[in-house]
Structure formats: C-alpha cells, structure tokens
Structure 1
Amino acid sequence: MRFSAVFRAWSGALALAGVLAFQASAFQMSIARAADDDEVVLAEDRLPPGVLLYVTSPDVVAAYEQFQKTSASALINDPSLEKFRAQLLERYAEFQKEAEDKLKLPLADLFALFSGEISMAVVRPVGQPLGWVAFMDIGEHEETLDALLLKAEEAFDGEKIAKETETIAETEVVTCTVTTSDAEDAQPVTVAYFVKDGMFVFGSDAEVLESVLTRWDGEHEETFAANEIYQEIVAKCVTNEDSEPSLIWYVDPVGLVASGLSMAPQTQNFAGMIYMPTLGLTGLKAFGGVQELATEQFDHVSRMLIYIDGPPTGVVKVFELRPSEVTAPTWVPADAGQYFALDWNIKGAYESIEAIYDSFLGPGKFAMATANLTKQAGVDLKLKADVIDVLSGKVQGYYSASAAAPEDFTGVISVGVTDPAKGQKLVDTVFQLAGGAKSADFEGTKIYEPANDTGKGVAAVKGNAIMISSTGETLKLALAARPANPLAATPEYKSVAKVIPKEVCLFSYQNAAGQFADVYEKARSGEFDGLVEGKLDFSVLPPFEEIRKYFGPNGAYYIPDESGAIGVQFSPKRTK
C-alpha cells in the first residue's frame, strides 16, 4: 500500500471528523453582536506600519455561517452519511470528556471564545526588533479566558515563570517570562498579553503590544491598514465592496527574510540583502489575497495578487508567464484528473539566468559553462540555439489516476516548439543521452521509446509540439485525438472554462470527484481499517456515486495586472 493513498484517505477522514466535531458544538457558540451599529475596529487598524506577515479571519462566526452554505457542509449533513457521522460524534464525545476532565471547563465555553475576529501578524515597528502579535475577539467571555490562562500556567509546573504587570495606555499588560532550562545559554520565552474591549491580544513582548494600544481607537495616522499595497491587494481580490472575506492574508517576503536574517549572528551580514537588486527581488514588494465562501458565483474562491514594482527582472523574470488563449485540446479525455496550460517566457528566463550568473562570475561565463556541459555529455547541442530558441514556451497536458492504483498516473504533456525539425533533433538528443531509442510509426508519426524496453517515457513530434507520455498507448490516443468524449465537451469543464478570461498566463482544471473516488472506495472496502484500529467502520459509507455531486470541479488561472499578477482559484457553485 502506497503512503500517498493512505495519507489521502486518513487525512480526509480526520478532516471530516474535525468539521463534524465543530458542528456538534457550534450551536453553543456565542453569536451575539454588539447592540450598537458602531463600526468595528479591526486588527489592521490597530497594527503599526512594518507588518511583514498578516493573516486574519475578520469574523469567524460569519465565516462559519458562510461555510454552512458550501458543498462541503452539504456533504457533511447528507442523510446517506448518517451512520458514519454517528461514529465520528461518538469518538468526539470521548475526546470531549477527556478534554473537559483535564481543563475542568466545558468545551462549549472554549467555542464561545470564538466570538468574532482572529488575526495574527509578524511585525517590525520602527526602531524595534522583529516581533509578533495575535488578536482574538472573545466577546463577554473573559472569565473563561482567565480560567484557560490559569491552566496554561499550571502546565508549566516545575518551570520558572516570572510575571510582571504594567500599565500602558490605561491598560494592564501582563508579561510572562518562562525559563525552561537551567543551562547558561538557555533563552527564556516571553509572552505578553492584555484584554480590552472584549479583545484578547497577546504577543512577543510589551513593546509590540504598546504599538497596538497607541492605535487602539483605529484613528492613528500610521497603521498597517494605511499600507497602500495592502489596500490594493484587498481591493483587487474581493468580489465587490460588499464582500465579507472569510480569510485575508498578506506577506512582505523580502522584508520577512531580511528581518529573519538579522536575528541570527551567523546571518546578520546578509541582512542588508546586498544581492537583492542583482537577483531582481527588490521589485517583489508583497503578495497576499482573500478567500470567500458561498458567493453568488462560486462555492468557494480565493484570489491572490503578486505585487511587483516595475517590470520583472532577475529571478522574478525566470518565472514570467505570457497571456494567451487556452482551450483543452481534443486529445485530453473526459476522465482527466487534471488539465493545465501555460505560456512560459523561456527566452526571458534564459537571459535572466545568464545575466545573474555573469554578474557574479564575469561576462560570458554562463555561455562557457553550458558549452562545457554539453561537451562533457558528448552531444552536439547548443543550449541557446538548440533548446531555448527551439522551445516556444507553450506547455499543456493532463494526467489521470489509475483505478487499480491511484498513486500511479498516466497522462500526456505537450511542449511547444518553434520548428518541428529542430524539435525532432532535441528529442533525438535526449534519447541519446538516455542510452538510445527505438521507434515505431503510428499514423505517419514516429513514436520514440527507450531502447532498454522499460516501456516508460515515450515521445513524438507532431506539428509544433513534442508530445511526451509515460506509455505508448496513452501517447497514441493523444496523437489520434479522437477520444469518444473529450474533456472540453464535458459540463464540468465548461462550468470552469466559462469563468476564466479570454487570455490567461496559466490555467488549471481539476476533477475533484475523479481524483477522490478510487481512494474513497478503497476505504469502504476496508483497505484502510488498520489505520483506525477498529474505531471507525468505513463500510457504512455510501457508494461514492451517492455523494459525487458534492465534489465539483475546481479551476485556477493567473492573469497579468498592472501591479504584477493576479491568481484565482475557485469551484463553481453546485447546481442542485
């Protein structure tokens, strides 16, 4: 039994159990809202500038309510899963009793703490070291929080805990310093926290919390919310101005890496990131996005903006994709688990790599190094003329899981070429390096496979593309391009394709049902029973066809934007 199949099956069961457990107690969650209509002050309004990483769920209760409208929730509550749900809830009841015995608190009280916003940020305020801070809206449940904090202190029985209390901005701030070892080089762990206006805020130290408290009313001129890049990311990633995202995230990758390097003596010399301009990373300002559930058009959708200041250069240029029209070709069968297509600027990537290499070692060194590699390999091949200039950058393909062995995949990849004859030379050279090849004619096209009869890895040149597959039979089907039911004709593919713009840099389609069905049926047949030690009976699950309707197709695409690139991942709303 392969690990991947086992992992998918068991992780799926655990995920379902977790959601069911949450639903079992969700009715006890506090969903009270403030009686007044005052605008809520969010963490982004209270954070100082210098935020390097930010993740927030602005309202976990609202997000849960939106989740209830998704296909995943409908699946969990489907009548055909009643027997399996009963098992999971029985296991949850056992866990609940054990947890409550240890905590001396009802788990319902813990769920009640999730009353609104949950946020976390890594921040480096001006003149301060790198720190972190988290926000949790606990509503009117401060007594429950106090009990949990007391339990947390008791958990460090035998350890040294020093507590200090100070008043900052008329708020009591508690700093706990925990020493976990008597070793001279042991570093104590410090956590500071306060509770104010129903919000539990904790972080790396009191200085970070002070930067939050000075902005508590949300009226401060210098806040993370005023970050123009963050504002643009959110504005371009929400569906509309009335959207209520379940999740928002933001990363300043360059700042995060630089700050991390500055913390360790061994890497402080690199903190200045003197090579950043050479690598073209100074233009990568940030990336972030938004997730929404149960929108008018989608079951769920996530959008991301990669914010690049100026044209891409250096390492960023290596990954540049060009917009083009995409349609699944007729050789992609209806049962394809995934189809993808992209148009890579391979010439630009080569030039960027060459420029970076030569900037460190001197002009012409990259060309010399590549020439030496082909010479040592004993092939008549020039990397620039015979590979880079021959490949067009257009790549598309599909894969399908084997019904007998879901961990084994078959599929075809098409690699575009600018000249079929030069593409053929490239194929010949690759097989020469692999020990030679033998060929066979198929409808006027030569199919090449390794001379060692492994049966794995076959290729052919047809039109302006090199077609590659794991088996000859799969490649023949693609070359014939006559499947009984091509992917592009299926309603699942059409539901995804109609959403994407006319031109995209990258497109991906996934058939969630096809990818999960085989593993699901293996679980029903008892193949994974040993993993749960008899605590769950997967045989009570209904046949997959009864729940297939909940596993809709997924799509993803990237498009260029004036500030970089926007990526979208989505699942169309299920038709009832």
Structure 2
Amino acid sequence: MIESLKKRIVRRGSLAFSLTALLAQNIFYSWAAPPPSPEDWLPEDALAIITLPNYEAAKESWNNNLYMQFWNDPAMAPFRENAEKSFQELVISGLEKNAGFKLSELTELLKGQATFAIIPLPGNSGGVGLLAALDTGTQAAKLTELMNRTQAKFQESGNPLKPVQIQNLTFHRAEMKMSFPELENFSESTPGNNMEIIFGQSDSVFLAGTSVRHLEQTVQKLSGGSGKSISSKAAFNQIHQKLFRNTEGYGWVQFESVYALIQKLVKEITASTQAEQSTNPMSMLMPKPEIILSALGLEAIQGLGFAWGSTPAGTAFDLTVQAPKSKRKGLLNLIEFEPKDASPPPFVTDDVVAFQRVRFDARKTWEKLEKMLGEISPQLSGILQMTMGLLGKDRDPNFDFRRNLIDNLGDDFIVAQWPPKSSAMDDMINPPEIILVGSPNPEPLVKAFIAASGLLPGGNGVLKERSFLGRTVHSINVPSGAAPAPGGSSEAMETMGLHFVASGMYVAFSTNESMLESYLRSAKGPGRPLKSKPEFQQAVNAVGGFKSGYVYYQSLESSAGLMYENLRENPGSLFSGLMGMGLGSGLTGGSAPEDALERFMDFKKLPPFDQVKKYFHFNVSGNSSDERMLNLKSMSPIPTSLRR
C-alpha cells in the first residue's frame, strides 16, 4: 500500500512538473522579445526580398481593402467558393502533400513578420536559393507542436527527415517534389526538379531555406548575435528611410548584385557565339551583347523597390528605381519627366475611361535615343540616318524629314479614351480615343507623319484628305492588330483608318473619326471636366500633384463593366483571346476552352456587374522622382460609402 501511494505521488509529481514546464514555456514565449526587424537580420548579399513586417496588421488592412470587399461580397460567393476550391485542389494540396502539414496550420499561427528572400548559392555558380522567416509571436509553443507533428508524419511515411545542425538548434532537411499531379493533365509542362528544403524553429520564428550558411547567419542574428545585414547596404538604407518605414509591405532588389550576374551571363553568351559570328558575313551589323548591355545604362541602377500600404481612404503603391541622376544614361536617361502641368484639359470629361498626360522633351529624348543606338551599333545608326533622309522624298524631293519631325516635337503628350458605344466587337476594338502630340509647329509635324506613314505595313502609301471646320483631316490605313477575317488569307493584315489633324499647339490622332470631329468642334467636352472632381484632385495630390509631369487616371467601373459582362456571358472568349496571342496552348488538355477554363475559374458564376460595380472605382498614378531615384506612385481610392 505504501509502495502504491509512493507511485501515485511520483505520477502526480511528474504531471505537476510537466504542467509547470508547459506553463513556464508559454510564459517564456509570451515574454520573449520579438525577433529583429527584417532589415536587421536579412542577409547582406540577398538578391531580392519581400516582407510583411507585421502580418496581422497587414491582414486586417487587406480585409478592409476595396478588392477584398469585392471578393467577400455575398453576391460573389458562388464564384469565390469555386475558385478557392480549385486553387486548393490544383496548387495548395500538392504543396501540403510535400510539406507534411496544412499551410493553413502555419498561416493561422502568424503574428509578426512574414519575410522571403532570394539568395545567392555558395560559390561562383550564379545559382540562387530561397530563405523564409515567419514569426508566430506568442504562438511559439504551437509552432513547436506543428514541427513535431510534421517530423512524425515524415517518419510514418517511410521518408524520415534528415537532421541538420544550425548553430545549437536541430533543423530538418526534406526533399520537396516541385510537381502538381492535378495540373499534369492540364498543361504540357513536365514536373519540375526536386528541391531540398531545410526548415526548423528559432524561438517563435519558423525558418526555411536552401542554404545552411544563410540559415546559420539568420539564427545568429535572430538570437541577438552580431553580423552584417542588408541594412549595411547604403542603397537599401536610402530607400528604407524614404519608402519602407511605415508601409504594410515592401520588396527590394539589390540590383548591383543582379547586374553582376547579368554581366556574367552576357559574357558566357558572347563566348559561346564567337565562333559562329566569325563565319557570319552579317556579324558586323550584329552588336555584341556586352556593348548592348553597356549602352542600356543599367549599371547605374543601385536597387529596385516597391511598397504598398492602405488607409481608410484607399490603397497606395510605390515603384522605385534607385539611380542617381548624375549617373543615368541609356534607358534611364530617356525616362525624365519635366515638372510641368499634367492636368486633364477641359475636353476630358469625368465619364472618360482612361486619361494620361506626360510632359517630357521629345526632341532631347530622340537625340538620347540616337546616341544610345550609335553606341550599340554605328552601322545600324547609319542605316537609320539614311532611311530618315529618304522619307518623304517621293512626294517632295526637298523634304527634310528630320527637320520636320525632330525639330517640331514638343513636350506634351495626351491620351484620352471614352467607353465604347456598345459591347459589339467592332466598338470594343475601336472605342472613342484621341491622342494629342504637342508641337510648337504642328503643320510641319503633320508632313513628317505623312512621310513616316510609308513605313507602315498595310497602308500602301494611300493618303486621303478632307476639310472639316477649316482644317485638313488626313487619313491613312494602319494595321489594326486584329486576326484576319474568317475565310481570308492567314497572311492578310486587317487594317483600320488613322485620322490626324493639326489643331492649336497639337497634332490630334484618332482611329475614331467622330471622336476627332467632336474634339475639333469644341476644346471643351459636353460633360463635367474630370479635373473638377474633388476626389480626383485629392488622389492626384497624393501621388505627386498635377505639376509633376505625369498623371494617369483609369475609371474601373467604365473600363471593367463591358469586359466583366462579356466574360460572364462568354468565358470562352478569354481563352480564345489567349490562344490567339499564342498563350494557353497547353492548358486545354484536349478539352474545349470553356471546359478547361471552368476548372480554374467558372466565370459564369459571377454575379451581374450591377450588383458589384460599387467596388470598381478609379486608379491614379503620378510622378514623384528626385535626384536620387525615379518614383511612380499609384493610388486606388475607396468610395466614402465603403470606407471602414
């Protein structure tokens, strides 16, 4: 009896000890300091990163986002549930089968940062690997349970995980089969190669990667150890201070390192084609890849960054190229907006589908383009100069194309498009649209465009002219981009009319004759000017203002409405369009396009557009570049009635 009592006391003592240990573990994890911010532990040599510094906050904000409100609307339930089920079956299930646990089990634990990086593999191979860190915050004990269950599942399957020592922690190595059986009947693609993933836990952080060295460095920094991180890079610090500090998420490409990989690849291509070029009589006209790369001026780029964030008023997005103005050349030198008025003129009314105005010196841009081409290939540059010298000589032997075109280009370019008259294909292809090219002398510029029209296929050099309100309207045929008519030759090219006229300080172009006439009748449209909308003004001010040299506007309700209904009623048209562009040829698996597409997303389950059009508002973009970086900002405002 005494022995029995002793055993009961021991068992209860063991139970009490276990409970105490478990309680202590949870208290420790809840009191433990959060891991360092992404910039303080990400590897110094990371090629590219993307992070949500606070996953919970980003998730809450994302759920209030206009697009998620649209996705979660009750009217979207049939389409949403079908799409989510398909994605689960076609993609997620394959990942979960390889991982040994449900991805939702891990994402539900996320409380802190979610960070991913592309890293260089050891050595000089040029290969890249992956690194991921997911912080579970106070859920570290549950993360440990998940890791233990995962290890047990691999053990039971007869494919036990291989232990890997990372610092003083035991990680696990697993071979991931990067194939998706459910997609094999869907696509012509073959299963990908297997990938070895090393994963484990450091305090509250789930870590996974392909490089032991980078995982060791990460564990050391997460544990408070020293060592260089990406924050030691001046280019990263510069963009972090300006854009990344108060965002929901951001990404960055360490382009200097990426450019070094590109240079290495270009040298290999040059070496492999050297023998072939030595026997090719046309090789003198073919510029060397290294020369092309140098002329493009990409070496001036220090980094590429993007960031996004949401407020009750809307969602903002930044896209940045870090390149000091003093070092820009090639392509970067072409992208230089003039700080001038880019607001919509009075004829651009608030029912416009899209509007864009860009201010840059086209004459200087052309000269820079010629210089870049001359660096790439003096021979090709000479051919271009000779061709330009011959243009227009068939109509006037004394015509100087360069003087009429280049010398008369201005610094103002405007595009405006209105909704098509109907959902008929002809109206959808040719909506009311007008393009204005600024010029100090528009009449000579028109002559240059007429001369250049001889280079366009499908026009046969035929020019028509007519008088309208005292101005001469010129018309030529240009390729429409549409497929040949049924029964016609596959080599036949569909054409459409392009009409243009000099008016004021612009040359106006349109493929819609009535649109051009409407513009000529009055410089002011029949409706309310777009610029008078207070919400539009506020959004533009948030992305750089009207004086930034670049403003873009798109009405999502107008642009998406007809397309949405067409997709809902005839989903096969999307697939047919992709097939027409040479895309999606491997997705049918022998099925009709409609059947193949329905397995992914059944667009017939979409609700009528009128039920959800309140979520389709508008987007604006603007320029906020400076001496250190080129920056484009975008804003998607949320209607007042939908703000939370």
> Which of the five TM-score ranges fits, normalised by the shorter chain?
0.7 to 0.9
Q: CA deviation at 1:571?
A: 1.4
Q: Does the aligned pair in 1 maintain the 2:391–2:452 contact within 8 Å?
A: no
CA distance in 2, matches of 1:545, 1:97: 31
Task: Tell me which protein shows more strand as a share of its residues.
Answer: 1
Distance verdict in 2 for CA 1:33–1:213, change over 3 Å: closer
Farther-moved stretch of structure 1 (276-285 vs 372-381)? 372-381
Q: CA deviation at 1:66?
A: 0.7
CA distance in 2, matches of 1:267, 1:146: 48
Farther-moved stretch of structure 1 (381-390 vs 510-519)? 381-390
Q: Does 1:141 align with 2:133?
A: no
CA distance in 2, matches of 1:383, 1:153: 76
Q: CA deviation at 1:457?
A: 1.0
Q: Does the aligned pair in 2 maintain the 1:54–1:250 contact within 8 Å?
A: yes
The equivalent of 1:389 in structure 2 is: 407
The equivalent of 2:304 in structure 1 is: 287
Q: Does the aligned pair in 1 maintain the 2:82–2:601 contact within 8 Å?
A: no
Q: CA deviation at 1:449?
A: 0.8
Q: Does the aligned pair in 1 maintain the 2:78–2:606 contact within 8 Å?
A: no
- Identity percentage of aligned residues: 18
The equivalent of 1:121 in structure 2 is: 117
CA distance in 2, matches of 1:535, 1:303: 30
Q: Does the aligned pair in 1 maintain the 2:79–2:606 contact within 8 Å?
A: no
Q: Does 1:131 align with 2:175?
A: no
RMSD: 4.1
Amino acid at match of 1:440: R
Q: Deviations over 1:407-463 (max 9, x none)?
A: 524211111113123212213313455413111222222111127996521111112
2:625 aligned counterpart, secondary structure: strand
Distance verdict in 2 for CA 1:147–1:478, change over 3 Å: farther
1:325 aligned counterpart, secondary structure: coil
Q: Does 1:68 align with 2:63?
A: yes
Amino acid at match of 2:449: V
CA distance in 1, matches of 2:532, 2:151: 58
CA distance in 1, matches of 2:155, 2:414: 56
Structure 1 residue aligned with 2:615, among 547, 550, 565? Answer: 550
Task: Tell me which protein shows more helix as a share of its residues.
Answer: 2
CA distance in 2, matches of 1:196, 1:273: 45
Distance verdict in 2 for CA 1:149–1:313, change over 3 Å: farther
Farther-moved stretch of structure 1 (205-214 vs 556-565)? 205-214
Q: Deviations over 1:445-501 (max 9, x none)?
A: 211112799652111111221111112111111222342214334455444344342
Q: Does the aligned pair in 2 maintain the 1:254–1:281 contact within 8 Å?
A: no
Structure 2 residue aligned with 1:258, among 257, 260, 266? Answer: 260
Structure 2 residue aligned with 1:518, among 543, 553, 562? Answer: 562
Distance verdict in 2 for CA 1:390–1:37, change over 3 Å: farther
Structure 2 residue aligned with 1:560, among 614, 625, 639? Answer: 625
Distance verdict in 2 for CA 1:212–1:68, change over 3 Å: same
**Where in structure 2 are the equivalents of 1:62-461 lying within 5 Å?**
62-78=57-73, 81-82=74-75, 84-85=76-77, 88-89=80-81, 108-124=104-120, 130-132=127-129, 133-138=131-136, 139=139, 140-145=142-147, 147=149, 164-176=162-174, 189-217=195-223, 220-238=226-244, 243=246, 245-259=247-261, 262=264, 266-267=268-269, 278-293=295-310, 295=311, 298-311=313-326, 312-359=328-375, 361=377, 368-374=382-388, 379=393, 382=400, 384-402=402-420, 403-405=422-424, 407-410=428-431, 411-433=433-455, 434=459, 435-450=461-476, 456-461=497-502
The equivalent of 1:509 in structure 2 is: 553
Q: CA deviation at 1:524?
A: 5.6
Distance verdict in 2 for CA 1:354–1:218, change over 3 Å: farther
The equivalent of 2:52 in structure 1 is: 57
Q: CA deviation at 1:40?
A: 3.6
Q: Does the aligned pair in 1 maintain the 2:350–2:533 contact within 8 Å?
A: yes
Farther-moved stretch of structure 1 (487-496 vs 335-344)? 487-496
Q: Does the aligned pair in 1 maintain the 2:439–2:505 contact within 8 Å?
A: yes
Segments of 5+ residues of structure 2 without an aligned counterpart are 1-26, 179-191, 273-288, 479-493, 573-593
Q: How many matched pairs?
A: 523
Q: Does the aligned pair in 1 maintain the 2:411–2:438 contact within 8 Å?
A: yes
Q: Does the aligned pair in 2 maintain the 1:47–1:223 contact within 8 Å?
A: yes
TM-score between the two structures when normalised by the length of structure 1: 0.78
Amino acid at match of 1:463: G
CA distance in 1, matches of 2:293, 2:82: 55
Farther-moved stretch of structure 1 (424-433 vs 196-205)? 424-433
Distance verdict in 2 for CA 1:64–1:178, change over 3 Å: closer
Amino acid at match of 1:288: G
Q: Does the aligned pair in 1 maintain the 2:405–2:449 contact within 8 Å?
A: no
2:446 aligned counterpart, secondary structure: helix
1:313 aligned counterpart, secondary structure: coil
Q: Does the aligned pair in 1 maintain the 2:416–2:434 contact within 8 Å?
A: yes
Q: CA deviation at 1:162?
A: 10
1:473 aligned counterpart, secondary structure: helix
Amino acid at match of 2:429: D
CA distance in 2, matches of 1:124, 1:108: 29
Amino acid at match of 1:321: F
Structure 2 residue aligned with 1:484, among 526, 535, 544? Answer: 526
Q: CA deviation at 1:251?
A: 1.2
CA distance in 2, matches of 1:539, 1:179: 34
Q: Does the aligned pair in 2 maintain the 1:46–1:218 contact within 8 Å?
A: no
Q: Deviations over 1:500-521 (max 9, x none)?
A: 4242132100101111112333
Farther-moved stretch of structure 1 (133-142 vs 472-481)? 133-142
Q: Does 1:462 align with 2:503?
A: yes
Q: Deviations over 1:219-253 (max 9, x none)?
A: 53521023222222132225xx6x3x222111133
Structure 1 residue aligned with 2:598, among 512, 532, 541? Answer: 532
Distance verdict in 2 for CA 1:568–1:409, change over 3 Å: farther
Amino acid at match of 2:387: L
Q: CA deviation at 1:77?
A: 4.5
Q: CA deviation at 1:291?
A: 0.5
CA distance in 1, matches of 2:424, 2:505: 33
Q: Does the aligned pair in 2 maintain the 1:175–1:190 contact within 8 Å?
A: yes
CA distance in 1, matches of 2:177, 2:477: 65
CA distance in 1, matches of 2:28, 2:330: 50
Distance verdict in 2 for CA 1:322–1:147, change over 3 Å: farther
1:335 aligned counterpart, secondary structure: coil
1:214 aligned counterpart, secondary structure: helix
CA distance in 2, matches of 1:220, 1:533: 51
Q: CA deviation at 1:111?
A: 3.7
Q: CA deviation at 1:292?
A: 0.3
Q: Does the aligned pair in 2 maintain the 1:445–1:460 contact within 8 Å?
A: yes
Q: CA deviation at 1:194?
A: 3.0
Distance verdict in 2 for CA 1:143–1:96, change over 3 Å: farther
Amino acid at match of 1:194: G
Q: CA deviation at 1:96?
A: 6.9
